[in-house]
């Protein structure tokens, strides 16, 4: 007996928005977020497989793969026996792309017409891998050039120098694209091994946002995505101490203004549900946004410019916060940030600043619901992290000051941080 597709309508009356979550009979999770009055549509097709997944057990078989293979696989998947997917998109007028991050790989397009044709291209090439010795060898040179380009990028180096300074063993410290040496180990057999393990409907999600309805999308998914037995995947990550490797890393680069990243390392074993995730976002906004006392002091002392920002990093085995920017005195920047961390942990988040942060973060989410790209990325991200988009937004408005304070203490420990600096020759 054929399994039925399960369609769930998820609505938020306060936001006056709704979308559909469909558990397809193949095991694929499909999201359709109708935006009837929008001219543009957006689709993103992702697999819960990224650069950190280099050691795993699938159906009882333990497998280790070369660093950078997820990114390599992303590049190769666009090729098929009947031509390159980008060439096909060019004929329909779609703007297509793909990316590999630490924890996922996604294929996407935006278009103002021909949504059905573009979805056929997307579902077609992602579902039909084609790897040969010749095409894999050809790609090694192309990706090798990309790796060398990133090695020459101060933005890239300051981040990975930081991660190497923070993490002893976790593969987050390994470049997403791998190294010239590791990609030389990649073969068609290893690519198919990763594809067959992770590019299965149960480990993937498709999101379509724009002038689309569930029935239209499901018709195409029925055509292209066939049921396969669910594979049991166990991802293996090395034990990671809670302390950092070193508190300072420096590299010389031809830059006019020194660049820095200051990373705070938290317990990577903690999973963030909607409430905890909301607490992190609001707490960090109150602490480090351009309306915060810390930001004001850094600006008043001339220590930072408008490049300053922060990012929360969350994935299997990792929870961290990275502050970044340009400064003639990065060590003083780090000193000021750590001082404000200690003050916030001792005295608490100011209640007025907390309320401002809540409203600002909520408004930011509401604004992003006007962007088809933001909606698509948000739904895929929530699916792979085990959260639901509207629950995340509602958790912000329901958040208490104590909950935000708890998450600030969880994220920012001044004794577990690393400063990475890239500066020019003295």
Catalytic positions are: 74
User: Helices (DSSP H) in 61-179: which residue ranges?
Assistant: 69-77, 85-92, 115-127, 133-151, 154-166
CA distances from 135 to 78, 127, 212 (A): 12, 18, 36
User: What's the alpha-carbon Rg for the chain, to the nearest Å?
Assistant: 22
* Tokens at 220, concatenated: 């195409």
Question: What's the residue count for the chain?
Answer: 426
Between CA 61 and CA 197 the distance in angstroms is: 11
Between CA 411 and CA 409 the distance in angstroms is: 6
Q: What are phi and psi of 276, to 5 degrees?
A: -65, -40
* Tokens at 261, concatenated: 């990243």
Between CA 389 and CA 16 the distance in angstroms is: 14
End-to-end CA distance of the chain: 73
Residue 148 CB neighbours (<10 A): 11
Half-sphere exposure of 338 (CA within 13 A, CB side): 17
Residue 158 CB neighbours (<10 A): 24
Of 52, 253, 134, 139, nearest in space to 147 by CA: 139
Q: How far is CA 202 from the centre of its chain?
A: 19
Q: How far is CA 177 from the centre of its chain?
A: 15
Residue partners of 143: CB distance under 8 A and separation at least 6: 68, 71, 72, 75, 177, 183
Residue partners of 70: CB distance under 8 A and separation at least 6: 49, 50, 51, 53, 100, 105, 176, 194
Q: Give the β-pairing of 204-210 and 29-34.
A: parallel
């Amino acid at each position: 007996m054929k399994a039925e597709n399960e369609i769930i309508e998820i609505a938020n009356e306060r936001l006056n928005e709704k979308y559909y979550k469909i558990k397809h009979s193949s095991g694929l999770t499909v999201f359709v977020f109708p935006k009837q009055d929008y001219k543009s549509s957006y689709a993103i097709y992702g697999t819960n497989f990224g650069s950190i997944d280099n050691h795993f057990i699938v159906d009882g078989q333990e497998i280790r793969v070369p660093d950078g293979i997820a990114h390599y696989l992303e590049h190769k998947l666009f090729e098929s026996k009947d031509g390159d997917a980008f060439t096909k998109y060019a004929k329909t007028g779609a703007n297509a792309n793909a990316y590999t991050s630490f924890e996922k790989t996604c294929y996407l397009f935006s278009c103002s017409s021909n949504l059905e044709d573009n979805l056929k291209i997307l579902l077609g090439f992602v579902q039909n891998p084609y790897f040969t010795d010749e095409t894999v060898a050809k790609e090694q040179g192309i990706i090798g050039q990309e790796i060398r380009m990133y090695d020459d990028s101060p933005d890239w180096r300051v981040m990975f120098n930081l991660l190497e300074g923070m993490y002893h063993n976790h593969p987050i410290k390994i470049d997403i694209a791998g190294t010239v040496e590791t990609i030389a180990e990649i073969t068609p057999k290893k690519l198919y091994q990763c594809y067959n393990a992770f590019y299965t409907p149960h480990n993937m999600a498709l999101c379509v946002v724009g002038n689309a309805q569930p029935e239209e999308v499901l018709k195409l998914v029925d055509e292209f995505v066939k049921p396969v037995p669910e594979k049991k995947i166990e991802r293996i990550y090395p034990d990671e101490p809670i302390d950092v490797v070193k508190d300072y890393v420096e590299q010389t680069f031809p830059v006019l203004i020194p660049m820095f990243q200051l990373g705070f390392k938290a317990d990577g074993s903690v999973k963030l549900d909607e409430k905890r995730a909301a607490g992190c976002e609001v707490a960090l906004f109150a602490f480090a946004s351009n309306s915060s006392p810390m930001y004001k002091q850094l600006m008043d002392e001339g220590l930072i410019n408008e490049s300053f920002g922060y990012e929360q990093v969350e994935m299997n085995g990792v929870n961290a916060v990275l502050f970044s920017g340009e400064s003639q005195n990065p060590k003083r920047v780090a000193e000021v940030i750590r001082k404000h961390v200690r003050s916030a942990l001792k005295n608490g988040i100011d209640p007025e600043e907390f309320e401002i942060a809540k409203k600002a973060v909520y408004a930011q989410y509401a604004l992003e619901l006007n962007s088809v790209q933001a909606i698509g990325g948000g739904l895929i991200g929530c699916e792979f992290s085990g959260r639901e988009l509207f629950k995340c937004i509602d958790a912000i408005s329901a958040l208490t000051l104590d909950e935000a304070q708890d998450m600030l203490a969880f994220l920012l420990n001044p004794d577990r941080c690393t400063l990475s600096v890239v500066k020019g020759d003295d």
